[in-house]
Structure 1
Amino acid sequence: MANPPKRKVQGGRVTPKGTRPAGEQFLPPEAKVSPAWVPILLFSLLAAGTILIIVNYLGLIPGGTSNWWLLAGLGLILGGVITATQLH
């Protein structure tokens, strides 16, 4: 079985070189800068959540250990992770 002959296609530029309109250069977007309070809030929430979980585990919270304190600590850590997504 023979292969069919290849089609010959004219290749090359469609428009002449150097016909690009002036002023359409690519400008990169400006770098976003986070406010100073974002990293402070980020690390504060992470630290507070970690400390709350450790203090609950050690039983230093009045009223004894409770799953609600653990949940609150995990919530603070989650808040820190969510804040980290806003950091530029």
Structure 2
Amino acid sequence: MAPPKRKSGGGRVTPKGTQPGTSRVTAPKNEEHHEVAASSRYTPKQARRQLIPPNWIPIIMVGLLVGGGLMIMARYLIWTGSNIPTLIGLAAILGGLWAATKWE
């Protein structure tokens, strides 16, 4: 049988009402006040600049999607002997989907 574990005395280490990372010493009045303590691990988020997408991106996206669909339909209605219009239509649809991911 293992010997019983020693108790270390446990209990509160910091005075009641304080938080880890803060000190009781107050900063002098002439120093500027920071929101986050220097020893804190919290890193505030940086302000992200507002990105405004160009107005032509949705126009290109819709044009490529519709054009690709029409090209695939035209392959079955007009060009029945070649698969090249189908490949062009698929490439146009993929281009439209790619443009859709760039539109924010």
Say whether the fold is shared (TM-score over 0.5): yes
Structure 2 counterpart of 1:79 = 95
Structure 2 counterpart of 1:50 = 69
Report the TM-score when normalising by structure 2: 0.61
User: 1:10 and 2:26 equivalent?
Assistant: no
Consecutive unaligned residues of structure 1, counting only runs of 5 or more, are none
The structure with higher relative contact order (CA 8 Å, sep 6+) is 1
Over 3 Å counting, the alpha-carbon distance change for 1:84 and 1:7 in structure 2 is farther
CA shift, 1:78, in A, is 0.6
Q: Which has the larger radius of gyration?
A: 2
CA shift, 1:46, in A, is 0.5
Q: Percent identity?
A: 25
Give the residue type in structure 2 aligned to 1:49.
Answer: G
Cα distance in 2 for partners of 1:15, 1:87 equals 45
Q: Cα deviations across residues 22-48 of structure 1 (Å, max 9, x unaligned)?
A: 7xx756313211100000000100000
Report the TM-score when normalising by structure 1: 0.70
Q: How does 1:30-69 map to 2 (within 5 A)?
A: 30-57=49-76, 59-61=77-79, 64-69=80-85
Give the residue type in structure 2 aligned to 1:51.
Answer: L
Cα distance in 1 for partners of 2:101, 2:52 equals 13
Structure 1 moving runs of 4+ over 2 Å: 1-13, 15-22, 25-28
Consecutive unaligned residues of structure 2, counting only runs of 5 or more, are 28-32, 36-43
